[in-house]
Amino acid sequence: MNERLLLQLEVDQLNAAYAAALDEKRFDAWPAFFLPDARYTVQARENFDRGLPLALIDLESQGMMKDRVYGITQTIFHAPYYTRHVLSPAQVLGEEGGRVRAQAHYAVFRTKPGDASEVYNVGRYIDEIVRTTEGLRFASRRCVYDSEMVLNSLIYPI
């Protein structure tokens, strides 16, 4: 099989597993998709396009992600809801020095029990991915959202 096509499939499988973990509320599994010193950022498109650093969430390590999971699962009280991630196939932008640059588009829907589903967040992932002995892991995941309004508060990872 063509190496580029195989890499495309691996990145798509990483994204699919990532989305499934979040949609199934397996939040303890979320930090394992990242390297120990990885960065996870959720940023408005307006700030990204202007090169401004302000972000809703900016986690600088897997440890900070684990703290976020603790907050989500142990301390934050909110009305329950489900999420569903719908992802485009990834676009592999390049590979250099063992790092793969890729992006994919996403739409996250939120459903409160007994209520209609609504669009929660829409945007694109901009990723740096590294191959490890356990498979592909994110060195960096930037969620650049197009939505000008974020419904209520952003609790779960995008």
pLDDT tens for each residue of 20-64: 999 999 999 999 999 999 999 999 999 999 999 999 999 999 999
User: Higher-confidence residue: 80 or 122?
Assistant: 122
Q: Does position 65 have pLDDT exceeding 80, yes or no?
A: yes
Instruction: Categorize the per-residue pLDDT at 67 as very low, low, confident or very high, splitting at 50, 70 and 90.
Output: very high
pTM surpassing 0.75? Answer: yes
Q: CB–CB of 22/156 below 8 Å?
A: yes
Interatomic CA distance for residues 130 and 97, integer angstroms: 9
Residue 1: its pLDDT value, please?
A: 60
Interatomic CA distance for residues 113 and 95, integer angstroms: 43
Report all structural domains of the chain as residue ranges with CATH numbers, in order of start.
3-145 (3.10.450.50)
